[in-house]
Amino acid sequence: GESVGLHLPTLSVQEGDNSIINCAYSNSASDYFIWYKQESGKGPQFIIDIRSNMDKRQGQRVTVLLNKTVKHLSLQIAATQPGDSAVYFCAENGDYGGSQGNLIFGKGTKLSVKP
Amino acid sequence: DTGVSQDPRHKITKRGQNVTFRCDPISEHNRLYWYRQTLGQGPEFLTYFQNEAQLEKSRLLSDRFSAERPKGSFSTLEIQRTEQGDSAMYLCASTRTENTEAFFGQGTRLTVV
């Protein structure tokens, strides 16, 4: 079946260091991926997305890498700040009923930034 | 605020009661999604609408759950005869089209006692 998961449930980094959050997916038919940030008590906040015809996309302080060969997605955060502390989810467009209408989320990685 | 809004933010109800939540998507967004999230887990897909048409429903959506989007704008999610296992955060999201970024609301936290 299809699933999206994360290699590490928690990640602790020093302020100013770079962070890398990983995600594995199993549905080779997925062609759209998103990273979300979720702070306690709030809804997920869009960070960056990537389509399967790309292997890298950059935003402000964030980069998403997609390796379709091994079905791996990563989120890199440069110069991590205390405000980056949150749970990060990767999501893929799901092939639910053949319409790929929904997003399937992984379990999340909790990022803690030490000052 | 032009983001996705959900109401109420918190709801405490007794087991067996019915509850209804509302979601107002971003105005030009055609697609509207409902998700459920329990502590320590990622959001789980429940159902989604393309305009007023409900196109997909998850197996998680039991007969006690019903969702509507009558005019293709706001949506409601009703849970009948609530059970303690229904306690969760219910999230709504909207997108302009398929495979574009989904924007989430702040969620409605349901506690069934």
Residues of chain A with Cβ-Cβ distance to B39 below 8 Å are: none
Find residue B11's DSSP bridge partners.
Answer: B110
> Phi and psi (nearest 5°) for A58?
-115, 145
pLDDT score, position A2: 37
- Tell me if A108 and B42 make a contact (CB, 8 A cut-off): yes
Whether residue A111 contacts residue A9, with contact meaning beta carbons closer than 8 Å, is answered with no
Which of B40, B55, B101 lies closest to A49 in CB terms? B101
pLDDT score, position A7: 47
Size of interface A-B (CB pairs under 8 A): 68
Q: What is the pLDDT of residues B48-96, one digit of tens each?
A: 999 999 988 888 788 999 999 998 899 999 999 999 999 999 999 998 8
- Residue A107 at interface with chain B, using a CB cutoff of 8 Å: yes
State whether residue A98 is helix, strand or coil: helix
Q: What is the pLDDT of residues A13-25, one digit of tens each?
A: 999 999 999 999 8
The torsion defined by the Cα of A82, A51, B37 and B45, in degrees rounded to 10, comes to 170
* Cα B30 from Cα B49, distance rounded (Å): 8
Give the chain B residue nearest A96 (alpha carbons): B56
